[in-house]
Structure 1
Protein backbone atom coordinates (compact mmCIF):
# COMPACT_ATOMS: atom_id res chain seq x y z
CA UNK A 1 0.00 0.00 0.00
CA UNK A 2 2.83 2.38 0.91
CA UNK A 3 4.44 1.82 -2.51
CA UNK A 4 1.09 2.55 -4.24
CA UNK A 5 0.61 5.84 -2.35
CA UNK A 6 4.18 6.93 -3.12
CA UNK A 7 3.68 6.11 -6.80
CA UNK A 8 0.37 7.97 -6.87
CA UNK A 9 1.91 11.06 -5.22
CA UNK A 10 4.77 11.09 -7.73
CA UNK A 11 2.25 10.89 -10.58
CA UNK A 12 0.23 13.81 -9.17
CA UNK A 13 3.41 15.85 -8.63
CA UNK A 14 4.48 15.17 -12.20
CA UNK A 15 1.12 16.29 -13.58
CA UNK A 16 0.98 19.41 -11.42
CA UNK A 17 4.56 20.60 -11.60
CA UNK A 18 6.21 19.16 -14.67
CA UNK A 19 3.50 18.81 -17.30
CA UNK A 20 2.45 22.50 -17.35
CA UNK A 21 5.99 23.67 -18.08
CA UNK A 22 6.07 21.43 -21.12
CA UNK A 23 3.13 23.42 -22.51
CA UNK A 24 4.11 26.88 -21.29
CA UNK A 25 3.35 29.79 -23.59
CA UNK A 26 6.33 31.29 -25.40
CA UNK A 27 7.90 34.17 -23.54
CA UNK A 28 7.18 37.65 -24.71
CA UNK A 29 9.63 39.36 -27.04
CA UNK A 30 11.43 42.32 -25.43
CA UNK A 31 10.06 44.45 -28.26
CA UNK A 32 6.49 43.70 -27.13
CA UNK A 33 7.13 43.86 -23.38
CA UNK A 34 5.42 47.23 -23.02
CA UNK A 35 2.07 48.41 -21.72
CA UNK A 36 0.16 51.31 -23.29
CA UNK A 37 -3.23 52.85 -22.60
CA UNK A 38 -5.94 51.88 -25.09
CA UNK A 39 -7.14 54.92 -27.06
CA UNK A 40 -10.86 54.47 -26.41
CA UNK A 41 -10.83 54.15 -22.62
CA UNK A 42 -7.18 54.41 -21.54
CA UNK A 43 -7.30 50.88 -20.08
CA UNK A 44 -3.76 49.46 -19.88
CA UNK A 45 -2.93 47.00 -22.65
CA UNK A 46 0.19 44.84 -22.62
CA UNK A 47 1.55 44.28 -26.12
CA UNK A 48 2.58 40.73 -25.15
CA UNK A 49 -0.99 39.76 -26.04
CA UNK A 50 0.12 40.07 -29.68
CA UNK A 51 3.10 37.68 -29.32
CA UNK A 52 2.94 35.11 -32.12
CA UNK A 53 1.18 37.46 -34.54
CA UNK A 54 2.53 39.37 -37.52
CA UNK A 55 2.29 43.02 -36.45
CA UNK A 56 2.26 46.32 -38.29
CA UNK A 57 3.01 49.27 -35.99
CA UNK A 58 2.05 52.64 -37.45
CA UNK A 59 2.07 56.21 -36.13
CA UNK A 60 -1.12 58.00 -37.11
CA UNK A 61 -2.60 61.51 -37.28
CA UNK A 62 -6.12 62.78 -37.97
CA UNK A 63 -5.24 65.87 -40.02
CA UNK A 64 -2.54 64.68 -42.40
CA UNK A 65 -2.37 64.23 -46.14
CA UNK A 66 -1.91 60.50 -45.43
CA UNK A 67 -4.88 60.20 -43.02
CA UNK A 68 -6.87 58.33 -45.68
CA UNK A 69 -4.42 55.44 -45.07
CA UNK A 70 -6.66 54.53 -42.12
CA UNK A 71 -8.91 52.97 -44.77
CA UNK A 72 -6.08 50.80 -46.14
CA UNK A 73 -4.87 49.86 -42.66
CA UNK A 74 -8.36 48.69 -41.72
CA UNK A 75 -8.65 46.83 -45.03
CA UNK A 76 -5.46 44.79 -44.50
CA UNK A 77 -6.35 44.24 -40.84
CA UNK A 78 -9.71 42.73 -41.80
CA UNK A 79 -8.20 40.72 -44.66
CA UNK A 80 -5.42 39.09 -42.62
CA UNK A 81 -6.52 39.18 -38.96
CA UNK A 82 -7.89 35.63 -38.97
CA UNK A 83 -4.48 34.44 -40.18
CA UNK A 84 -2.69 36.05 -37.24
CA UNK A 85 -2.09 39.64 -38.35
CA UNK A 86 -2.75 42.83 -36.38
CA UNK A 87 -2.26 46.55 -36.95
CA UNK A 88 -1.33 48.63 -33.89
CA UNK A 89 -1.98 52.37 -34.24
CA UNK A 90 -0.15 55.02 -32.24
CA UNK A 91 -1.51 58.56 -32.71
CA UNK A 92 1.16 61.23 -32.46
CA UNK A 93 1.31 64.99 -32.72
CA UNK A 94 5.04 64.91 -33.61
CA UNK A 95 4.75 65.94 -37.25
CA UNK A 96 3.15 69.20 -38.30
CA UNK A 97 0.92 69.27 -35.20
CA UNK A 98 -1.53 67.14 -37.17
CA UNK A 99 -2.93 65.26 -34.15
CA UNK A 100 -3.91 68.05 -31.72
CA UNK A 101 -7.02 66.38 -30.28
CA UNK A 102 -7.61 64.51 -27.05
CA UNK A 103 -7.65 60.72 -26.97
CA UNK A 104 -11.47 60.80 -27.00
CA UNK A 105 -11.52 63.13 -30.02
CA UNK A 106 -9.04 60.89 -31.86
CA UNK A 107 -11.04 57.74 -31.00
CA UNK A 108 -14.27 59.36 -32.20
CA UNK A 109 -12.61 60.50 -35.44
CA UNK A 110 -11.18 57.03 -36.15
CA UNK A 111 -14.49 55.30 -35.45
CA UNK A 112 -16.82 57.79 -37.14
CA UNK A 113 -14.69 58.60 -40.19
CA UNK A 114 -12.91 55.32 -40.97
CA UNK A 115 -14.67 52.75 -38.74
CA UNK A 116 -11.27 51.70 -37.36
CA UNK A 117 -11.42 48.42 -35.46
CA UNK A 118 -7.73 47.57 -35.20
CA UNK A 119 -6.14 48.33 -31.81
CA UNK A 120 -5.28 51.97 -31.21
CA UNK A 121 -3.36 53.39 -28.28
CA UNK A 122 -3.28 56.76 -26.53
CA UNK A 123 -1.49 59.63 -28.19
CA UNK A 124 2.25 59.54 -27.55
CA UNK A 125 5.55 60.74 -28.92
CA UNK A 126 7.11 58.50 -31.61
CA UNK A 127 10.20 60.51 -32.55
CA UNK A 128 12.46 63.22 -31.19
CA UNK A 129 14.20 63.06 -27.83
CA UNK A 130 11.51 61.06 -25.97
CA UNK A 131 9.74 58.52 -28.19
CA UNK A 132 7.52 56.02 -26.40
CA UNK A 133 9.41 52.82 -25.40
CA UNK A 134 8.14 50.74 -28.35
CA UNK A 135 9.16 53.32 -30.94
CA UNK A 136 12.48 53.84 -29.16
CA UNK A 137 13.20 50.11 -29.66
CA UNK A 138 11.87 50.11 -33.25
CA UNK A 139 14.16 53.03 -34.08
CA UNK A 140 17.15 51.34 -32.43
CA UNK A 141 16.55 48.01 -34.20
CA UNK A 142 15.98 49.46 -37.68
CA UNK A 143 18.10 52.59 -37.58
CA UNK A 144 15.11 54.45 -39.04
CA UNK A 145 13.02 57.06 -37.29
CA UNK A 146 9.52 57.91 -38.50
CA UNK A 147 9.94 60.89 -40.77
CA UNK A 148 6.23 61.71 -40.90
CA UNK A 149 2.82 60.35 -39.96
CA UNK A 150 1.84 56.85 -41.14
CA UNK A 151 5.35 55.40 -40.99
CA UNK A 152 5.03 51.60 -40.76
CA UNK A 153 7.12 48.90 -39.07
CA UNK A 154 6.51 45.20 -39.75
CA UNK A 155 7.23 42.67 -36.98
CA UNK A 156 7.31 38.89 -37.42
CA UNK A 157 5.65 36.26 -35.21
CA UNK A 158 8.80 36.03 -33.06
CA UNK A 159 8.79 39.73 -32.23
CA UNK A 160 11.60 40.70 -34.62
CA UNK A 161 11.41 43.84 -36.73
CA UNK A 162 11.51 42.73 -40.36
CA UNK A 163 11.02 45.91 -42.37
CA UNK A 164 9.83 49.50 -42.30
CA UNK A 165 7.89 51.49 -44.86
CA UNK A 166 7.67 55.24 -45.35
CA UNK A 167 4.50 57.28 -45.23
CA UNK A 168 4.17 57.34 -49.02
CA UNK A 169 3.87 53.53 -49.18
CA UNK A 170 0.19 52.66 -48.88
CA UNK A 171 -0.77 49.82 -46.50
CA UNK A 172 -2.38 47.94 -49.40
CA UNK A 173 0.66 48.23 -51.67
CA UNK A 174 1.99 44.99 -53.12
CA UNK A 175 5.34 45.49 -51.35
CA UNK A 176 3.61 45.48 -47.96
CA UNK A 177 0.99 42.81 -48.63
CA UNK A 178 3.58 40.44 -50.14
CA UNK A 179 5.72 40.80 -47.00
CA UNK A 180 2.70 40.28 -44.72
CA UNK A 181 1.70 37.11 -46.62
CA UNK A 182 5.26 35.80 -46.47
CA UNK A 183 5.44 36.39 -42.71
CA UNK A 184 2.02 34.84 -42.12
CA UNK A 185 3.30 31.68 -43.81
CA UNK A 186 6.12 31.37 -41.27
CA UNK A 187 5.64 29.69 -37.91
CA UNK A 188 6.60 31.31 -34.61
CA UNK A 189 9.60 29.71 -32.92
Structure 2
Protein backbone atom coordinates (compact mmCIF):
# COMPACT_ATOMS: atom_id res chain seq x y z
CA UNK A 1 0.00 0.00 0.00
CA UNK A 2 1.31 3.45 -0.92
CA UNK A 3 -0.82 5.51 1.45
CA UNK A 4 1.20 8.06 3.36
CA UNK A 5 0.99 9.19 6.99
CA UNK A 6 -1.58 11.93 6.39
CA UNK A 7 -4.96 11.58 4.69
CA UNK A 8 -4.18 12.94 1.24
CA UNK A 9 -0.59 11.69 0.87
CA UNK A 10 1.13 8.78 -0.87
CA UNK A 11 4.62 7.33 -1.14
CA UNK A 12 6.18 7.88 -4.58
CA UNK A 13 9.30 5.99 -3.49
CA UNK A 14 8.53 3.96 -0.34
CA UNK A 15 9.98 5.57 2.80
CA UNK A 16 11.92 8.11 0.71
CA UNK A 17 9.66 10.36 -1.39
CA UNK A 18 6.19 11.32 -0.19
CA UNK A 19 3.69 13.57 -1.99
CA UNK A 20 0.38 15.10 -1.01
CA UNK A 21 -1.60 17.93 0.51
CA UNK A 22 -0.48 21.13 2.23
CA UNK A 23 0.41 20.22 5.81
CA UNK A 24 -0.34 23.70 7.17
CA UNK A 25 -3.63 25.54 7.64
CA UNK A 26 -5.55 25.12 4.38
CA UNK A 27 -8.36 27.56 5.18
CA UNK A 28 -7.00 31.07 5.41
CA UNK A 29 -5.98 33.39 2.59
CA UNK A 30 -8.36 31.43 0.39
CA UNK A 31 -11.40 32.34 -1.67
CA UNK A 32 -14.83 30.97 -0.79
CA UNK A 33 -14.53 28.06 -3.24
CA UNK A 34 -11.26 26.95 -1.67
CA UNK A 35 -12.67 27.24 1.86
CA UNK A 36 -15.70 25.13 0.91
CA UNK A 37 -13.50 22.59 -0.87
CA UNK A 38 -11.23 22.35 2.18
CA UNK A 39 -14.21 21.81 4.47
CA UNK A 40 -15.50 19.09 2.15
CA UNK A 41 -12.11 17.30 2.00
CA UNK A 42 -11.64 17.51 5.76
CA UNK A 43 -15.21 16.33 6.41
CA UNK A 44 -14.72 13.29 4.16
CA UNK A 45 -11.45 12.50 5.94
CA UNK A 46 -13.15 12.79 9.34
CA UNK A 47 -16.12 10.62 8.31
CA UNK A 48 -13.80 7.92 6.92
CA UNK A 49 -11.45 8.03 9.94
CA UNK A 50 -13.40 9.44 12.93
CA UNK A 51 -10.98 8.07 15.53
CA UNK A 52 -8.22 10.28 14.12
CA UNK A 53 -10.28 13.40 14.83
CA UNK A 54 -10.64 16.49 12.68
CA UNK A 55 -7.55 17.00 10.46
CA UNK A 56 -5.54 20.05 11.54
CA UNK A 57 -2.17 21.49 10.60
CA UNK A 58 -0.79 20.42 13.97
CA UNK A 59 -1.86 16.79 13.42
CA UNK A 60 -0.57 16.73 9.83
CA UNK A 61 2.84 18.12 10.81
CA UNK A 62 3.14 15.71 13.76
CA UNK A 63 2.27 12.71 11.56
CA UNK A 64 4.81 13.72 8.91
CA UNK A 65 7.54 14.16 11.52
CA UNK A 66 6.58 10.88 13.20
CA UNK A 67 7.04 9.20 9.80
CA UNK A 68 10.58 10.61 9.73
CA UNK A 69 9.99 13.21 7.01
CA UNK A 70 12.65 15.89 7.37
CA UNK A 71 12.74 17.63 3.97
CA UNK A 72 9.78 19.64 2.66
CA UNK A 73 9.30 20.90 -0.90
CA UNK A 74 6.51 23.50 -0.87
CA UNK A 75 5.10 24.35 -4.32
CA UNK A 76 2.57 26.94 -3.09
CA UNK A 77 3.00 30.69 -3.46
CA UNK A 78 3.84 32.60 -0.27
CA UNK A 79 0.64 34.68 -0.41
CA UNK A 80 -1.57 31.65 -1.05
CA UNK A 81 -1.82 30.12 2.44
CA UNK A 82 -0.60 30.73 5.97
CA UNK A 83 2.94 29.40 6.40
CA UNK A 84 3.59 26.26 8.43
CA UNK A 85 7.39 26.46 8.53
CA UNK A 86 7.51 27.85 12.10
CA UNK A 87 5.20 25.11 13.40
CA UNK A 88 7.22 22.49 11.53
CA UNK A 89 10.56 23.67 12.94
CA UNK A 90 9.18 24.00 16.49
CA UNK A 91 7.69 20.49 16.47
CA UNK A 92 10.83 19.04 14.87
CA UNK A 93 12.99 20.64 17.55
CA UNK A 94 10.83 19.09 20.28
CA UNK A 95 11.50 15.70 18.67
CA UNK A 96 15.24 16.40 18.28
CA UNK A 97 14.92 16.55 14.50
CA UNK A 98 16.35 19.03 12.01
CA UNK A 99 14.13 19.87 9.04
CA UNK A 100 14.93 21.39 5.67
CA UNK A 101 12.19 23.50 4.06
CA UNK A 102 12.35 24.73 0.45
CA UNK A 103 9.72 26.68 -1.45
CA UNK A 104 9.60 26.67 -5.25
CA UNK A 105 6.41 28.67 -5.88
CA UNK A 106 4.14 27.70 -8.76
CA UNK A 107 0.82 29.45 -9.35
CA UNK A 108 -2.16 27.14 -8.75
CA UNK A 109 -3.37 25.33 -11.91
CA UNK A 110 -0.21 26.43 -13.78
CA UNK A 111 3.15 25.15 -14.94
CA UNK A 112 6.63 26.52 -14.31
CA UNK A 113 9.99 26.82 -16.05
CA UNK A 114 12.43 24.01 -16.80
CA UNK A 115 14.91 25.63 -14.38
CA UNK A 116 12.37 25.61 -11.55
CA UNK A 117 11.45 21.97 -12.21
CA UNK A 118 15.14 21.08 -12.21
CA UNK A 119 15.52 22.84 -8.81
CA UNK A 120 12.72 20.64 -7.47
CA UNK A 121 14.24 17.44 -8.85
CA UNK A 122 17.66 18.40 -7.46
CA UNK A 123 16.15 18.97 -3.99
CA UNK A 124 14.38 15.59 -4.14
CA UNK A 125 17.51 13.75 -5.32
CA UNK A 126 19.74 15.47 -2.74
CA UNK A 127 17.23 14.55 -0.03
CA UNK A 128 17.31 10.89 -1.04
CA UNK A 129 21.11 10.83 -1.39
CA UNK A 130 21.55 12.31 2.10
CA UNK A 131 19.24 9.65 3.58
CA UNK A 132 16.36 12.04 4.27
CA UNK A 133 12.69 11.55 3.50
CA UNK A 134 11.20 14.33 1.38
CA UNK A 135 7.59 15.55 1.23
CA UNK A 136 6.44 17.27 -1.99
CA UNK A 137 3.22 19.25 -1.76
CA UNK A 138 1.03 22.02 -3.12
CA UNK A 139 -2.45 22.69 -1.69
CA UNK A 140 -4.36 19.50 -2.55
CA UNK A 141 -1.40 17.44 -3.74
CA UNK A 142 -2.85 17.17 -7.23
CA UNK A 143 -1.79 19.64 -9.92
CA UNK A 144 1.59 21.16 -9.11
CA UNK A 145 2.58 18.17 -6.99
CA UNK A 146 1.60 15.69 -9.71
CA UNK A 147 3.57 17.66 -12.29
CA UNK A 148 6.76 17.67 -10.18
CA UNK A 149 6.33 14.02 -9.13
CA UNK A 150 5.82 13.09 -12.79
CA UNK A 151 8.97 14.91 -13.90
CA UNK A 152 10.91 13.26 -11.05
CA UNK A 153 9.67 9.83 -12.19
CA UNK A 154 10.77 10.58 -15.77
CA UNK A 155 14.14 11.61 -14.35
CA UNK A 156 14.23 8.16 -12.70
CA UNK A 157 13.79 6.41 -16.07
CA UNK A 158 10.07 6.26 -16.85
CA UNK A 159 8.51 7.77 -19.95
CA UNK A 160 6.10 10.65 -19.42
CA UNK A 161 3.08 8.42 -20.06
CA UNK A 162 4.42 5.75 -17.69
CA UNK A 163 4.98 8.41 -15.02
CA UNK A 164 1.39 9.68 -15.31
CA UNK A 165 0.03 6.13 -15.05
CA UNK A 166 2.24 5.44 -12.04
CA UNK A 167 0.91 8.54 -10.25
CA UNK A 168 -2.65 7.32 -10.86
CA UNK A 169 -1.73 3.87 -9.54
CA UNK A 170 0.07 5.25 -6.47
CA UNK A 171 -2.94 7.41 -5.56
CA UNK A 172 -5.57 4.64 -5.82
CA UNK A 173 -5.95 4.28 -2.05
CA UNK A 174 -6.53 8.02 -1.45
CA UNK A 175 -9.97 9.46 -0.74
CA UNK A 176 -9.50 11.94 -3.62
CA UNK A 177 -8.14 9.38 -6.10
CA UNK A 178 -10.98 10.14 -8.54
CA UNK A 179 -9.41 13.56 -9.15
CA UNK A 180 -6.66 13.75 -11.78
CA UNK A 181 -3.05 14.37 -10.85
CA UNK A 182 -1.65 16.43 -12.51
CA UNK A 183 -4.89 18.41 -12.69
CA UNK A 184 -4.89 19.71 -16.24
CA UNK A 185 -3.53 19.14 -19.75
CA UNK A 186 -0.82 21.81 -19.42
CA UNK A 187 0.62 20.10 -16.34
CA UNK A 188 0.29 16.60 -17.83
CA UNK A 189 1.92 17.89 -21.01
CA UNK A 190 4.97 19.01 -19.05
CA UNK A 191 5.36 15.46 -17.70
CA UNK A 192 4.76 13.83 -21.09
CA UNK A 193 7.42 16.03 -22.71
CA UNK A 194 9.94 16.01 -19.84
CA UNK A 195 13.46 14.85 -20.71
CA UNK A 196 15.75 13.52 -17.99
Fold shared, TM-score > 0.5 on shorter chain: no
Normalising by structure 2, we get a TM-score of: 0.28
Query: Larger helix proportion, structure 1 or 2?
Result: 2
Normalising by structure 1, we get a TM-score of: 0.29
Q: Which has the larger radius of gyration?
A: 1
